[in-house]
A and B are shown apart, each in its own frame.
Chain A
Amino acid sequence: MAEAAKPMLVEVKGLRHYYSGQDHLVLDDVNLTLAQDEIVGLLGRSGSGKSTLLRSIAGLIRPSEGIARLVPGPDVPDPTVAMVFQTFALFPWLTVLENVEIGLEALRVPADEARSRSLAAIDLIGLDGFENAYPKELSGGMRQRVGLARALVVNPSLLLMDEPFSALDVLTAETLRTDLLDLWSEGRVAIKSILIVTHNIEEAVLMCDRILVFSSNPGRVVAEIKVDLPQPRDRLDPAFRALVDDIYARMTARTEITAPMRADGLFPGTGIAMVLPRVSTNSIAGLIEEVDGTPFEGKASMADLADSLQLEADELFPMAETLQLLRFAELRGAELVLTPTARRYAQSDVDQRKALFAQALTQHVPLVQHIRRVLDERASHEAPARRFRDELEDYMSEDYADETLRTVTLWGRYAEIFSFDEEADRFSLEDAE
């Protein structure tokens, strides 16, 4: 294989990362190598620790265990990194030129040289004429170009990109991707490799030579996919579509690989310890209606759904998995198939929908059952939310416990299984039923 012959640039061995102080594992035993001349994508959902991995490689955070290092080689004796941020991370009080120069200044490059190199980088990235503009005068796409110029001008061996296009609109993101790939393939930048973090499956397939798929909670590499399609790649190419579908299926199947899990739940943890994502009841209804209607007729591929609903995989997965949890749908490979209950739901009026939803909740969400049981048993039919939050924190981190309880509160209130007083932070059976 050609890649194997290329010298190694990044080595990550046995990397583990815990959230400070807590025993919550973010990254679990991650091993990877990055060779020269490749673009590698880290693909995963939020909570998969891919940004943590990127920051470990960047030297921004120290991992709890293991190492992440840049490997010096014959043609890169002193490898360096630069990073492009999702939020651009430009200094608003510096002009475009000053923002680009900042890395060179820190390296004590003589003023004249810094100036001419920066102007060249600004020119390269297509921003000439804006040297003296301040970031707030620029559009999002132009700001990210400044971020890119700032990274390129220091001639890094490795370019790290943290969801670089996710804050941009679809058209702008596409232009920027194409421009970057052009620079890369024409060899006009000194970068040896690019490591890009994304949750956009198509973006990963479009740009990368190799994609590492991460599971979440904790983050592990669950699949490594080589993309051999020639550049420039065409989204409509059947091979491209097939690859996207394949990755959707792998990201769905990922839960079978990870350890203790009940067969019915896709979310980590079992029973009341199940971590629930924040999915609104409107999204649940909307997704059911979309799959029930034409052209899907009860069965849709995840990639097509993401397209038609204008959702990122990162947003679509939690919704689809919620449907699966409630037995409203089943994920078969990369396809989402509605159950008869869900098709009935789609045709029902508001009250029937609520009844169906309440039934699904009480049958399939253990935490809802638990809260309802506690409320039923107490004479006052009241219970502080704190009690359940504490209980959840025995199984998961504080943030997840909070989010899980919020989600259950939202669902339970909508289904009128219990009511909730935010001011008093207390569940009750007051208006329920």
Chain B
Amino acid sequence: MTPDRHSARPLPAFSRMLRLTRPSREDAIAFVILGGLAAIFFRTAEATVAPLSTLQLEPLTLDPSYLPYYALRTVLRMFVALFASTVFTLVVATLAARSRHLGQLIVPALDILQSVPILGFLTFTVTFFMGLFPGSVLGVECASIFAILTSQAWNMAFSFYQSLRAIPSDLEEATVIYRLSPIRRFLKLDLPFATPALVWNAMMSMSGGWFFVVASEAITVGKTTVTLPGIGSWLALAIGRRDFLAVGEAVAAMALVIVAYDQLFFRPIVAWADRFRFEMTASAERPRSWVFDLLRRTRLLPVVLAPLGAIGRLLLAFEPRVGRRKAIGPARSYPLLEKVWQALVIVAATAALVLLSRYIMRSLMWGDVLTAVLLAGLTMIRVMVLIALASLVWVPVGVWIGLRPVWAERLQPLAQFLAAFPANVLFPFAVMAIVRFDLAPDVWLSPLMILGTQWYILFNVIAGASAIPTDLREAAWMFRVRGWQWWRQVALPGIFPYYVTGALTASGGSWNASIVAEAVDWGNRHLVARGLGSFIAEATTAGDYPRVALGIGVMSLFVLGFNRLLWRPLYAYADRRLRLS
């Protein structure tokens, strides 16, 4: 029996899907692109299963002719991580949304993991994966991929969960009335509804992943350092050797790679996912992508989408038979089981807390905790000052751009690109400047934290300013509202909800970036700014796990506290008072 026994529509014949016609120029282009991608994929996959010794046989070189290959290895790693994150998201977030009990555990966990500094996971997992595939590059690859995954998965899962919770109740009721099985419901309602938000978050996650590529490709196990071929390792080596040119080449390669996967991968997906946007009115502006148009024109789109359909049909093969409709009586509840479950959760949480604190306290004193908290205070001051400074600069600029549609259209993608660009590759230049002019690292390393995250403020403010209704702007102009009054009564209230979103993202990102920004190397020069970030970074280098755990714990608490006490109230205020609808 074939797996698609139950499916309503069998897979059409391959030739019909292709609708073979005379080949056109577009066909040729599409064929070359797809063929090239396939070749690259297999060539790279071959290298990942090689024995570990090959890494020593072929050490990393800073030869530019190798750079494209390294870039591909890195990109492949990131896409594998993205794929794994997507699978994780679909399973875990769906469980959390469907089961109240699991949701109770998963949702807070995701919320916390979202704000935990990702770098901290690396040290704990490398040993595990090395043991899983002894003597093979695959083990190290897995550790590296897992590290990237930890920077992508949580916010994707959280967004998916939130989408599932936001599904309109009438559609949910329709799936019950028309007796869709859970699997079918997932395929017909949950997945399509959540897709647009998931794609957007996957793009954000991809940018986040870049940030830690440098850290995840050069892995230290005990006394030996394994260097995986990749753009991150190249960069690490270039920094170690103070090779200015090589750093520049890596930056250029990254820029090219980011543009390439944005154009070839994400844009087409965004254009495709637009059909799943939940709206009942046709919107004027649709996201466009030349690759998507190309695929559609060459009728390759069904071929590209066929695997997705096949997976769906495979899932439907496991669909249970339709049950008979039962008479509905009063809701049954099991108060005793409910209490047992609650008790179990509390016991497990207490046990975990005790274990963790004993692990940390075995080698640490209360004084260490105090130190970590004080250092966190320093980092917090940095984050707050930097967000304030960045706001002072980017709010006026963003408003100026946002009110001019022509400029907004041109600069919005640029701001998004800058947000996606891993700012840590630019750190060496800052270090050189600090060394040259003999500046205080405590102050001058700080701006690095916001180098990559300030763009979130900019593009959110641009979006906010362009969303201020024309009639409001015209009314303000008619009544001669100018200068400070205009900012106070028109522009600032108009952009505030958007600004809060941007500043929240920027602040979270800056906390995370502090781990790489507060301790920076350039050759043998090692610059440190006192703060929680450098505390974690140095504990990681020293392999001092209890300190790493302590630092991560304290940082998570601070980020959570920041979100709860500052950003959420601001968000609620914006939502209540300043929503333009």
Binding site for B on A (CB under 8 A): 55-56, 58-60, 62-70, 78-83, 85-89, 91-94, 101-109, 111, 114, 135-137, 143, 150, 154, 423
Contacts and interface: CB of A to CB of B under 8 A. Distances in A.
Interface of B: 6-10, 168, 170-171, 173-174, 176-181, 184, 188-189, 192, 275-282, 321-322, 324-331, 577
Contact of A106 (B170, B180, B330): B180
Contact of B329 (A60, A67, A102, A154): A67
A373 B117 CA distance: 56
Contact of B179 (A63, A88, A103): A103
Given A65-B330, A92-B280, A102-B180, A60 B173 contact: yes
A91 B192 contact: yes
20 contacts: A56-B328, A59-B325, A60-B177, A62-B328, A62-B330, A63-B330, A64-B330, A69-B327, A70-B325, A70-B327, A85-B173, A86-B170, A91-B171, A92-B276, A93-B276, A94-B188, A103-B179, A106-B178, A106-B322, A111-B7
A68 to B, nearest CB: 6
Nearest to B7: A111
Contact of A83 (B171, B174, B282): B174
B275 A59 contact: no
A59 B328 contact: yes
* B interface majority secondary structure: loop
Nearest to B179: A106
B441 to A, nearest CB: 44
A213 to B, nearest CB: 25
A111 B8 contact: yes
A102 B9 CA distance: 12
Contacts of B179: 103, 106-107
Nearest to B174: A89
Contacts of B329: 62-63, 67
Nearest to B6: A108
A44 to B, nearest CB: 20
Contacts of B10: 111
Contact of A89 (B170, B281, B282, B322): B170
A335 to B, nearest CB: 38
A106 B171 contact: no
Given A60-B177, A102-B188, A108-B322, A68 B328 contact: yes
A102 B173 contact: no
Nearest to A63: B330
A69 B328 CA distance: 6
B85 to A, nearest CB: 23
Nearest to A137: B282
Given A85-B174, A91-B192, A105 B282 contact: no
Contacts of B9: 111
Contacts of B168: 87, 89
Contact of B328 (A63, A92, A104, A105): A63
Contact of B330 (A66, A79, A85, A143): A66
Contacts of A94: 188
Contacts of B171: 89, 91
B270 to A, nearest CB: 15
B330 A83 contact: no
A58 B178 contact: no
B325 A92 contact: no
A91 B178 CA distance: 13
B178 A80 contact: no
A81 B325 CA distance: 10
B184 A105 contact: yes
A208 B279 CA distance: 34
Nearest to A104: B8
A106 B280 CA distance: 24
Contacts of A67: 327-329
Contacts of B8: 101, 104-105, 109, 111, 114
Contacts of A105: 8, 184
Contacts of A107: 179, 322
A211 to B, nearest CB: 24
Given A92-B280, A108-B6, A109-B8, 9 more contacts: A55-B173, A64-B331, A79-B325, A88-B170, A89-B168, A93-B275, A106-B180, A106-B181, A150-B178
